[in-house]
Amino acid sequence: MAIPFATAFMRIYDRKIMSGEITFKELKMDTSLFNNLCIVKGFVLPKEETERLCDKMKVSDEERKLLMSYYS
40 phi, psi to nearest 5 deg? -95, 115
Give residue 2's pLDDT band: very low, low, confident or very high (50, 70, 90): confident
> What is the per-residue pLDDT across 13-72, written as a single tens digit (0 to 9) for each?
999 999 999 999 999 999 999 999 999 999 999 999 999 999 999 999 999 999 999 998
The tally of CA atoms less than 13 A away on the side-chain side of residue 64 is 13
d(CA 21, CA 16): 5
